[in-house]
A and B are shown apart, each in its own frame.
Chain A
Amino acid sequence: MGIIDRFRIENAVQTYDFWLELRGMRSRRRKEARRELRTNLRDAAADVGVTQALFNIGSPKELAYAMTPEATQRPRWSLGAMWASLAFVVVVFGLMYTASTFTSGVDASGVVGRQVTGFVFPWFGVDFMARIEPNRGGLAVGAGNAQWYVLGLPLLAFVLAARPWRAFTQKAS
């Protein structure tokens, strides 16, 4: 079996695992479920080919739902990590874009040779800094206190999506 075929099978297995986790299946059982599906898919692929083997199991999401008729309320760590990563990318891109725009504004204003600091909506608490050297001698860009956004927003996204308090409420019940 080639690398691409192995990747296609593993992709289906990991998608299946993702949905199993969302349905609240514990990690030990998910590990068993992953192993079983992987083995079955490889056997089927050897028999009828990878494409047909994947077609026959249908959607990994629907398979995961069929495997777990009753979802349990457990933390959804994978979903949390996914949203945290997305929030991180958005925040970093937003900060870089804003800093670039701020620097362009400073450059357009003709202020050279000294550091300019300012606030840009909606980045409350973040000090954007830009310094344009005379005669196009270079520039320096910065954003102070941005760590609250870079770390805080992804953490918030993680907590809201993963719902870690379910681990405690489940133990209490």
Chain B
Amino acid sequence: MSIHDAQMLKGVLALLLLSLLADEDNYGYGIVTALREAGFTDLAEGTVYPALTRLEAAGHLESYLQRSASGPARKYYRTTADGRADLVARRESWHDLVASVGRVSGLTPSVTHPKEN
């Protein structure tokens, strides 16, 4: 189980959510599950759900209802054009941050620059 700094995690949460939803539409708990499978095991639903709402309010995400096999309809999220543009900006920002931190701390960045498109 990995433990992440809560403040650091909040700073990149929008980047994580937009990245996940750029690949595939998903609903609240499904997103939480995907993040946990990716290693963010300490990420609580109480953090993710408000972040989704904020991104939707900002126009970066849009939602629709889809019936599930197990019960009532789920609210699925997908990225909008604004959201995809914001994702590109956030990825660049993240890359710059990692590079800057790497220069100061002597750590070698292990991430690659995102594809520009």
Number of interface residues of B (CB under 8 A): 20
- Assess A39 versus B49: contact at CB under 8 Å? Given A44-B29, A56-B44, A57-B44: no
A35 contact set on B, CB distance < 8 A: 72-73, 75
Residue pair B74, A67 in contact (C-beta under 8 Å): no
A43 contact set on B, CB distance < 8 A: 29-30, 70, 74
Residue pair B45, A56 in contact (C-beta under 8 Å): yes
CB of A40 within 8 Å of the partner chain:
yes
One digit per residue, 1 when the CB lies within 8 angstroms of any chain A CB and 0 when it does not, for chain B 19-36 equals 000000001111011000
Number of interface residues of A (CB under 8 A): 22
Residue pair B44, A37 in contact (C-beta under 8 Å): no
A44 nearest CB neighbor, chain B only: B29
Provide the main secondary structure of the chain A interface: helix
One digit per residue, 1 when the CB lies within 8 angstroms of any chain A CB and 0 when it does not, for chain B 53-74 equals 1100000000000001011111
B106 contact set on A, CB distance < 8 A: none
Residue pair B28, A36 in contact (C-beta under 8 Å): yes
B33 contact set on A, CB distance < 8 A: 47
One digit per residue, 1 when the CB lies within 8 angstroms of any chain A CB and 0 when it does not, for chain B 38-49 equals 000000111001
A62 contact set on B, CB distance < 8 A: 46
How far does the Cβ of A51 sit from chain B's closest Cβ, in whole Å? 14
Beyond A36-B49, A58-B44, 16 additional contacts (C-beta under 8 Å) are: A35-B72, A35-B73, A36-B74, A39-B71, A40-B27, A40-B28, A40-B29, A40-B49, A44-B32, A44-B45, A47-B29, A56-B44, A57-B45, A57-B49, A59-B46, A69-B54
* A-B residue pairs in contact (CB < 8 Å), sample of 10: A35-B73, A36-B75, A38-B72, A39-B28, A39-B29, A39-B68, A39-B75, A47-B33, A56-B45, A56-B46
